[in-house]
Amino acid sequence: MIEELLMNISLKIAPIIYFFTIYSLFGWILENFHSLFTRRLFLKPNFFLGPFKPMYGFAPVLLVSFISPQTNWVFALFLCFLIPTVIEYVSGSLLERFFRKKWWDYSAISLNIQGHICLTYSLCWIFLSYICVYFLHPKIEFSFQRLEPIVLKIWPLLLAYFLAEFLLAIRRHIGRNQSFETIG
């Protein structure tokens, strides 16, 4: 009974952790190539030590949860705009509030909100998200199906890795004289 329950939990969580890991890595690669072409600097400062950008993990996982092949294309495009933009805004706001640092700043770009999001990049999210959902994700899903026996065994390690990264990042980015009480 308990074994069956644990297996059911694994079957639900393993693909989410797998997709999050793959897309977070792709996000790190995308951001660093963008930085290379725009600033001639490949290794852009990262919240995590490892090569992962969590925002790029959360957005596709949510997108593929809400968009199916039957989803109306206008609604799908709206979600491709909304979900990554909201994640980017919330992430930027929280990072700035808790760590008093901006990891990106769109203040110099017109139609921005507090420098955390801007229309230009939100329009880019539509294109990237659409490509991700309709072209990339089916391949990622196929790779998961091929690797499922392995992923079912290692997803707890991946989850532990991301939790450790998150806790270490908090510790690393909080100033020496700051605590959670003084940040919030």
Q: How is the chain split into domains, by residue range?
A: 2-183
Looking at residue 40, its pLDDT comes to 84
Looking at residue 56, its pLDDT comes to 97
Per the DSSP assignment, residues forming a β-bridge with 112 are 118
Inter-residue contact 160 to 169 (CB < 8 Å): no
Q: What is the pLDDT along the chain (184 residues), one digit of tens a residue?
A: 888 877 888 889 999 999 999 999 999 999 999 889 988 888 777 899 999 999 999 999 999 999 998 999 999 999 999 999 999 999 999 999 999 889 899 999 999 999 999 999 999 999 999 999 999 999 999 999 999 999 999 999 999 999 999 999 999 988 644 544 444 3
Inter-residue contact 53 to 24 (CB < 8 Å): yes
pTM of the predicted structure, to 2 decimals: 0.90
Per the DSSP assignment, residues forming a β-bridge with 118 are 112
Query: Token digits for 22?
Result: 């793959």
Question: Please, where are the H alpha helices in the chain?
Answer: 2-39, 54-66, 73-99, 119-131, 137-173, 180-183
Looking at residue 45, its pLDDT comes to 76
